[in-house]
Amino acid sequence: MTALLLLFVLALPARAAESVPVTSPRAVATLVSDTDRIAPGTPFKVGLRLRMAPGWHTYWRNPGDAGIPPELAFTLPDGATAGPIAWPAPQRQPEGPLMTYGYSGALLLAVPVSGPANTVRLHASWLVCKEICVPEEGDFRLDLPTGAPAASPQAPLFAAAAAALPRPSPWGAQVAPDGTLTVTGEGISAAAVRDAWFIPETGGTINGPAPQPLRVRDGGFSLALTPGEAFRTDAVLSGVLTVRDAAGQQTALAVAASPGGPPGPPDLPLWRVIGLAWLGGLILNLMPCVFPVLAVKAVGLAGLSGAARRHAVAHALSYTAGIMLTFLLVGAVLLGLRASGDAAGWGFQFQSPAFVAGIAWVLFAVGLNLSGVFQVEFGAAGAGQSLASRGGHAGSFGTGLLAVLVATPCTAPFMGVAISAALAAGSAGLTMAVFLAMGLGLAAPFLLLAAVPAFGRLLPRPGRWMELVRQALAFPMYGACAWLLWVMSQEAGSAGVLGAATGLVLVGFAAWSFGLGQPGPGAPRLGTTGRRIAHAAALAAALAALAVLSGIAASRMVPAGLAAEPGVERFSAERLETLRGEGRPVFVNMTAAWCVTCLVNERVALDQPAVRQGFAARGVVYLKGDWTRQDADITGFLRSHGRDGVPLYVLYPPGRGAPVVLPQILTQATVLSALERLRER
């Protein structure tokens, strides 16, 4: 049937607006015009018309992994010019393990012509492929008389070709360094975008055969593209985005995605985001940041083991309330800062020297309380019925508050994805729900211990041992203060350390003075006047500490910088791009002095000789970014990989392959395994 149609076409006489055909068993080619006559000063269109036999195809301007695009060379009279080819939206054409882009069936490559071109000559070449590829070419001529322009019989072909052109996208588009293409705008929904795929304008920018997983949410969707060797993280990614709706209607859009778009986590289902947040909060109980505070709470619960179950549950609920309220406050402040344009993320408060000093003083005061310098119950003092009868709910609430404040330097697994998904979604309700879920995860173990009798029976019976444990728990608090002084040295230098240490002295004096005025066994016997003087001295010392804190807040922070390490370079986006351009493998470590998880990972994995030797053997360049203080470039890098906090570890393979994000908890085996996979690529 197809052969008969081709014979019929060949038998037709050539019209004025269509040239003599060039034929082969694979295709029929002609030069056509949208007008039968031309008028001086009136532009018109001509084009190469290809009608390919079934199963044969030709190629787009970016042919993909194989093939070559058609080439058109016009010869026109003096004073006439031909414009660029108008390329219709291409189709994806898998060819074995390769992906090509092109056309099958009928094709018109239209070109605008201006000036007096009564005679149009064209030499064209094209490649047609099926099981084999055959290059073809032909010479064409059209003679168009001068006169009043009139639409030719071929004019509908030009109208159809114009309708097949990609139209400008009404939506915004960004592409992340990992290749994730994110599209946002009005009208995007699961019904409007049932399927989508992207074809790049420039060859090699993406891996064509790789899947393009689609995630859709109201107001946006993303395609997880796999970067190719020519992909650039700082360049616009242009191409054709085809969208198919629920009714099967396809629309081709011309997009130019700007660099730096967020990757896929914001598109996670709500239940999964909440679940990841809860699991991250649960794992946070195992992180080193919160060990001292959790130990205090554990002793407090042990002291309640001899009391009525309702007292234990009430204290656990007070502890949970402190956690939940603090998480809500942290989330609200984080949303407010980001709304004002501040590039804040998880742990942002530890980027403030004043907060670091303040939390050090609070932990020091808790340590002095545990050592017996003064008495304020934090859910750990007293035993059995005495504690239950006095309540101590303010202490349990404060313990929960403190647990959250000291937990923020740590990022547990799953937390980063959940937080970034919530923040990137642009919904304050979702963000607060995620922070509440993390709070429930952090509080869950103590709720279970208090509420479930079988778990509660695992707690030791209260006794005199608790006073000894109570005093021993003061030393982790003092150790945390020492670490925070080191963090202060990284943020505010020696002047900041002096201010923080001065505050510790004032807090110590205030605690001692306050303790003098408290009645109790072993306390000095002071009269009413003596106690008032002691309390006044404590208040004066506390006010002096606040004055010192305001001075720390107003002081200038020291210039950012990491201590020189052999084989480690300071991170910058320019340096990363240079190394990527040279095709070198790169390992990026985003860290902060206040991030306990980061420091532990470096000690147990990244600083180990086997890992450093693995980097050297494979030529991996080690870049390290310091987020101890606010840094917009590092914040942008974190967000480009779907994170709003540290640590973040990214391994870039040689060339332009897709980067690999390593887990937040590292071991030597994890890093060495990633390096081995790097060798296999």
Return the pLDDT at 91: 94
Confidence of residue 167 (pLDDT cuts 50, 70, 90): very high
Q: Which residues pair with 110 in a beta bridge?
A: 47, 86
What's the whole-number average pLDDT of the chain? 80
Number of H helices, E strands in the chain: 19, 24
Q: Is the pLDDT of residue 159 over 70?
A: yes
Note the pLDDT tens digit of each residue in 487-545. Answer: 888 777 778 888 888 988 988 898 888 888 776 555 566 677 877 888 888 888 888 88
Return the pLDDT at 612: 92
> Which position has the higher pLDDT, 655 or 264?
655
**Is 116 found in the same domain as 48?**
yes
Which phi and psi (to 5°) does residue 76 adopt? -125, 155
Return the pLDDT at 71: 96
**Is 201 found in the same domain as 155?**
no
Note the pLDDT tens digit of each residue in 447-476. Answer: 777 777 666 566 656 566 667 777 787 787
Tell me the angle at which helices 393-407 and 353-371 cross, rounded to the nearest 10 degrees.
140
Residue 606 lies in a domain: yes
In residues, how long is the chain?
Answer: 681
> Cα–Cα distance between 266 and 639 in angstroms, integer?
11
Q: What percent of the chain has pLDDT over 90?
A: 26
Of 137, 164, 191, the residue at which a domain comes to its end is 164
Residue 121 lies in a domain: yes
**Is 251 found in the same domain as 288?**
no
**Is 214 found in the same domain as 281?**
no
Which phi and psi (to 5°) does residue 187 adopt? 90, -5
Average pLDDT rounded to a whole number, residues 207-222: 85
Return the pLDDT at 11: 36
582 DSSP 8-state letter = T
Note the pLDDT tens digit of each residue in 380-422. Answer: 333 333 333 333 677 778 777 777 776 665 665 656 666 666 6
Return the pLDDT at 638: 80
Window from 424-438, 526-540, 655-669 with minimum mean pLDDT:
424-438
Average pLDDT rounded to a whole number, residues 213-237: 85
Return the pLDDT at 298: 61
Q: Is the pLDDT of residue 84 over 90?
A: yes
Residue type present at position 459: L
Window from 100-104, 308-312, 578-582, 657-661 with minimum mean pLDDT:
308-312
CATH code where residue 670 lies = 3.40.30.10
- Residues 635, 640, 646, 649, CA torsion sign: negative
Return the pLDDT at 549: 81
Confidence of residue 483 (pLDDT cuts 50, 70, 90): confident
> Cα–Cα distance between 128 and 107 in angstroms, integer?
12
Return the pLDDT at 340: 58
**Is 181 found in the same domain as 41?**
no
Of 527, 554, 581, the residue at which a domain comes to its end is 554
Residue type present at position 283: I
Nearest by Cα to 595 from 670, 497, 665: 665
Residues 6+ apart with CB under 8 A from 50: 27, 28, 29, 58, 70, 103, 106, 107, 108, 109, 126
Residue 562 lies in a domain: no
**Is 151 found in the same domain as 23?**
yes
- The H-or-E segment that residue 143 falls in is strand 133-143
CATH code where residue 256 lies = 2.60.40
Average pLDDT rounded to a whole number, residues 172-177: 87
Q: Is the pLDDT of residue 601 over 70?
A: yes
User: Would you give the end-to-end CA distance of the chain in angstroms?
Assistant: 49
Note the pLDDT tens digit of each residue in 324-369. Answer: 888 888 878 777 766 654 555 566 667 778 888 888 888 888 788 7
Residue 559 lies in a domain: no
**Is 245 found in the same domain as 227?**
yes
Return the pLDDT at 397: 80
Residues 6+ apart with CB under 8 A from 536: none
CA dihedral of residues 239, 216, 327, 503 (deg, nearest 10): -10
Of 115, 149, 164, the residue at which a domain comes to its end is 164
Confidence of residue 1 (pLDDT cuts 50, 70, 90): very low
**Is 363 found in the same domain as 496?**
yes
Q: Is the pLDDT of residue 229 over 90?
A: no
Domain count, the chain: 4
CATH code where residue 32 lies = 2.60.40.1250
Q: What percent of the chain has pLDDT over 70?
A: 79
CA distances from 361 to 339, 347, 666 (A): 30, 18, 31
Pull the structure tokens for residue 153. Answer: 């019989």
> Cα–Cα distance between 637 and 662 in angstroms, integer?
15
**Is 181 found in the same domain as 114?**
no
**Is 274 found in the same domain as 246?**
no
Nearest by Cα to 437 from 245, 277, 570: 277
Q: Is the pLDDT of residue 122 over 80?
A: yes
> Which position has the higher pLDDT, 629 or 251?
251
Owner of token pair 């949208």: 34
Residue 134 lies in a domain: yes
**Could you tell me if 137 and 115 are in contact, meaning their C-beta atoms sit under 8 angstroms apart?**
no
> Which position has the higher pLDDT, 4 or 601?
601
**Is 362 found in the same domain as 425?**
yes
Q: How many CB atoms lie within 10 A of CB 375?
A: 14
Average pLDDT rounded to a whole number, residues 571-587: 85
> Cα–Cα distance between 102 and 63 in angstroms, integer?
7
Nearest by Cα to 109 from 142, 84, 145, 81: 84
Q: How many CB atoms lie within 10 A of CB 71?
A: 13
Residue 317 lies in a domain: yes
Q: Which residues pair with 265 in a beta bridge?
A: none
User: b vs e for 272-298, b when ≥16 Cβ sit within 10 Å of the residue's Cβ?
Assistant: ebbbbbbbbbbbbbebebbbbbbbbbb
Q: Is the pLDDT of residue 16 over 70?
A: no
Note the pLDDT tens digit of each residue in 621-637. Answer: 999 988 887 777 787 78
Which domain does 315 fall in, by range?
267-554
> Cα–Cα distance between 243 and 245 in angstroms, integer?
7
Return the pLDDT at 142: 93
Residue 560 lies in a domain: no
> Cα–Cα distance between 297 and 627 in angstroms, integer?
31
**Is 172 found in the same domain as 160?**
no
Return the pLDDT at 127: 95
Nearest by Cα to 628 from 335, 290, 347, 327: 347
What is the C-alpha radius of gyration for the chain, rounded to an integer number of angstroms? 35
